Chain A
Amino acid sequence: MTKEASKNTELMAIHARDLGKVYRIQDKPIHRLLDALKIGGPRGREFWALKGVYLDIPKGSTVGIIGENGAGKSTLLKLISGVSKPTTGDVQVQGRVTSLIELGAGFHPEFSGRENIGLACSILGMSPEEIDELTPHIIEFSELGDFIDRPVKTYSSGMYVRLGFAVATCVNPDVLLVDEALSVGDEHFRGKCLNRLNDFRDSGGTTVFVSHDIGSVKTMCQHVILIDSGEVIEQGAPERVADEYLKRVKARGNERQMSMLHRGSAEYPRWGSGEMEVEEVLLLGGEGQPGLAFETGEHFIVRLRYRAHKDCNQPVFGLGLYRSDGTYVNGSNHQWRHEPIDLGEVKAGETGEVDMAMGALPLLEGQYYLTTFLYDHSKAAPTAIDHREHVVTFQVLDPSHHQHGILRLPTAWAVRRNIPGEEEVRGHESGS
């Protein structure tokens, strides 16, 4: 209701016209000084962090800005919040802006939480009366209890963030800028924060939400803006923009692969007797295209190309799958199966391909890497012919965001409700 009302006034909360920001990269610090004093022409290279951005964000809406790291999201937020001045164009914001980028910025470690609240509010331009009125609310929301009168330096990082969030949202901003700040704090407080953001939206506040996590942007925003290399590529309905974003991330991933292949394996250990060699590792997606970024549920093939330099008996290829933090997700080879593939003898000069296929990639969003094993199984204890650690890193994107963790599991859910007065048992069962 409030949303409709404010829309009708046709006032934009944020209005930006041809917004651009250029950073000049000088070779020597002294050049910056001379440029600043306008002695001699501009030196150094220009870098456009943001170019030609037009925004019309109506009051009361929640808008998401997505883009990869370095796309210009943070620069845009800085321009909206007024911290940084645009090189071209201008941006107008109606009302008070607070941003969750600055959680706890300016807290003084020696002062108590209460004193810091006063100082932070006064930096946000509030009068002493307003501060006195708000302080109890902030303290209550932050759940700091007795800690509020202890020096901030004794706080845990979670408490620090709680206080920061409480200050930023309790000061009744008109526009709230959120920059992935919610990834901190415990589960309970994060829930509280999301509730607070929802309340804020319902009361007609405008939220600008910056993330590279499409899942959360999709669930929270009605309008999404995709930024790449400082330019707005696409904007509109979350579904459509998210698809475009995924496409781009995948394309980017594939570009990266080209450079990875040329890098060789010098960075990670590789060992073995060397009769045979795994020369190349290819990751193939649903359409058989090589790539480094895949979607959960996509058809997925790991293809190893090998070459034998000497004769070899009973070589076995295997794959180890790890998450980027080193968690061993899965390991398998073509020998230890129901129907083993026995290569028998391999002669010098032979080449070939080994495929490991998964009908539907069960990995959830995250970064993973592969280690290839080529072992001689003719002996009781297999010995390494060519063991390559960390051969290839790839990315998995999960546009649905239905499950969390490492693997998508076929979970089934059922709800049986007993509602007094109604005898029937209503329920719904499904497999994910």
Chain B
Amino acid sequence: MFSLLSSLAGNKRLLIDFVKRDLKARYVGSSMGFFWSVIFPIVNLFVFMFVFRLLLNARWGDDAGPKETALIMLAGILVWAGFAETLSRSTNCLIENANLIQKVVFPSEILPVYLTTSSVVNMLIGLPIVVLGCWLFGITGPGMSIVMVPVLLVLQMLFTIGLGYFLTTLNLFLRDTYHLVGVGVQVWMFATPIFYPAEMVRNARIMLPDWLSFLSNMPLRVDKLTGEEVPLIAGEGGDLGLGWMLDINPMHWLIDAWREVLIFGRWPDVSSLTLLAVVSIAIFAIGATFFRSQQAKFPDLL
């Protein structure tokens, strides 16, 4: 993993070239250019607002007005889009660049890194809109905690690159990975509180069918929100809470932290941020190690 990091540092120039090329490629030939970075999430926002707010009548707590809800959703979409897009592109990056890897001595470790960097830059073009919106609509907006932005960026990139390394290597062995990632990202998106508040998930209860009732005899855990001891998965009689879905979802912690910083001007929750840091570094270490261990074989595997 450390040889990989030093090789990345050595190929800094190439990495920058690739990021530039990618950012340019997004908009070369289009007259609107970089505005697309902004237009796309805004259109997305209107679609989801239409569905969730108007049709399903979802509300962001009692005190959030429609404008605030829109901004909260927008922040979530921007962060999620940066992550999801990179994930599917990273998974395919070795196959897409097969001609480079098979014909030139090429540092393939820069591929997931440049894809992630490019999409993070893209995200950073969109996020100021959220801030502008806060000021425009008289919502709190960022405060001192804005200093956390670099930390969030680094953690997000570590997490994304780590997953990218892992999935793209796996994809060389099992080409189904790419399709699985496509489906997985979709499911993951709706499991993450982007268009609905996290409380809705915490409050949701479903009844388990009889054949799954063994799940109710699980040990207890401490609920993060209330601090009470609750059943690990399901309560007495098969009453299943969904809060655990949030407690195992690093993307929820990340998006939540971004919202705290950018919209509410609060400091992100320390415990979930620490957890995010641990998970991100672990994922990066695992992904990078797996990638590195197979890298010599890439030209033969393609």
Contacts from A to B (Cβ < 8 Å): 23, 29-30, 32-33, 36, 78, 81-85, 99, 101-102, 105-106, 108, 110-111, 115, 118-119, 122-124, 127-128, 151
Contact = CB atoms under 8 A, between A and B. Distances in A.
Contacts of A124: 104
B300 interface: yes
B149 to A, nearest CB: 30
Contacts of A106: 97, 99-100, 104, 106
A76 to B, nearest CB: 14
B103 to A, nearest CB: 4
Contact of B300 (A23, A119, A128): A23
Interface of B: 13-14, 17, 21, 24-25, 28-29, 97, 99-106, 170, 173-175, 293-294, 296-297, 299-301
Most chain A beta carbons < 10 A, residue from B17, B294, B301: B17
Contacts of B97: 106
Contacts of A32: 173, 301
B103 A105 contact: yes
Nearest to A78: B299
Contacts of B103: 83, 99, 101-102, 105
A99 to B, nearest CB: 7
A122 B18 CA distance: 10
A381 B296 CA distance: 69
Majority SS of interface residues in chain B? Answer: helix
14 contacts: A30-B173, A32-B301, A33-B170, A33-B174, A36-B173, A81-B105, A83-B101, A105-B99, A111-B24, A111-B25, A123-B106, A124-B104, A128-B13, A151-B29
B105 to A, nearest CB: 5
Contacts of B294: 36
Contacts of B175: 29
Nearest to A97: B105
B262 to A, nearest CB: 33
A122 B15 CA distance: 10
Contacts of B104: 81, 83, 102, 105-106, 123-124
Nearest to A75: B300
A118 B24 CA distance: 14
A71 to B, nearest CB: 18
Contact of A83 (B17, B24, B102, B170): B102
Contacts of A36: 173, 293-294, 297
